[in-house]
Amino acid sequence: MNRVLILIPTLLGLVTFLFILIRLIPGDPARVLAGLMASEEDVELIREQLGLNKPLYVQYFTYMANLFTFNLGVSARTDSPVLYEVMARLPNTLALALSSTALAVALGVPLGVFAASRKSSRLDTLVSTFSIVGISLPTYWLGLIMITIFAVELHLLPAGGYGTPAHFILPTVTIALFLTAFIVKITKASVIDSMEKEYVVTARSKGLTERVILYKHVLRNALIPVITIIGLQFGSLLGGAVITETIYAWPGLGRLIIDAINNRDYPMVQGSIFIFALLYALVNLITDLIYTIVDPRVRLG
């Protein structure tokens, strides 16, 4: 419960930080929105609509009060409610994050366990090298290269867009590679760490085979930190969506934020980042909850 309560000041802090930053922008946002050809009356009208003519503290409290009722304002470009636009995009971002996490877990956990059980073998070195390569590859570069190979040269997959299952393949693989590399690294470290624990020594002295020890005793314990890392990474993945969705013209939240930034649509920037933070907090909270379920030793304070 404490964790939930602490979220409120944190999110309010973030929104305040955003509010201050946006007010620091040089230039008149109303004039920017109206465009170069706008008349003085048009600019005044926009100022009126957005409440930019009111004193700062009034703007701040109005914005905060609206937040509590989930009224995030309207887009300065399209006049549609920010919340509506964000919610329309949200499922697409989540779908991509889920598909890539699923792929990464399916590949990364077995590879990590495998590398740990054959520590210092040639295959272990190969897996470790793969994991450092995976973490170091810039996603935007990998994405562009995959588009060049699979869409432009081989005509196997769509270069971007959304709709069919085929559209999922390239973006999913792009995101999953980084995540797989990360999971391999964590899983390996965690399994090796657990292998040195006392209960393993006990199990060995009982004459259990290494196989039984690994699958029955070690994995259960070793995978607990892995779950936390996957949860935390799922959150960062949402941040990386900004890039992946740009590469593949994916109509998600990340793309929405970048478009809003390029259009100087500040209500949209503010609103979508707020929802993003809310989502991120929720993911971290769920991770904590899962952690307490799989590991009864930990109880939330």
Partner 1 sequence: MIPLIRELARSKMVLASMLILLSFIFMALFADFIAPYSPIESDLSISNKPPSWEHPFGTDELGRDILSRVIHGAKLTLTISFAATAIGALVGIVVGVLSGFYGRAVDTITQRFTDVLLALPGFLLAVMFVAIMGNNIATVITSVALSLVPSYVRMSRGLTLQVKELEYVLAARQLGVNSIKIMTRHIIPNISPTLIAQITLNLGTAILFASGLGFLGIGVPPPEPEWGTMLGTGRTYMFYAPHLIIFPGLAVFLVVFSFNKIGDRIGEIIASK
Q: Which residues bind partner 1 (CB under 8 A)?
A: 6, 9-11, 13-14, 17-18, 21-22, 24-26, 129, 132-133, 135-141, 144-145, 147-148, 152, 235-236, 238-240, 242-243, 246, 257-258, 261-262, 269, 273, 276-277, 280-281
Measured in degrees and rounded to the nearest 5, phi and psi for residue 81 equal: -60, 140
Q: How far is the CB of 14 from partner 1 (least distance, A)?
A: 4
Q: How far is the CB of 125 from partner 1 (least distance, A)?
A: 9
Select 89 or 217, whichever has its Cβ closest to partner 1.
89
Q: How far is the CB of 127 from partner 1 (least distance, A)?
A: 13
Select 191 or 203, whichever has its Cβ closest to partner 1.
191
Select 22 or 87, whichever has its Cβ closest to partner 1.
22
Select 60 or 208, whichever has its Cβ closest to partner 1.
60
Select 6 or 293, whichever has its Cβ closest to partner 1.
6
Q: How far is the CB of 212 from partner 1 (least distance, A)?
A: 28
Considering only CA atoms, which of 233, 237, 229 is closest in space to residue 253? 237
Q: How far is the CB of 120 from partner 1 (least distance, A)?
A: 12
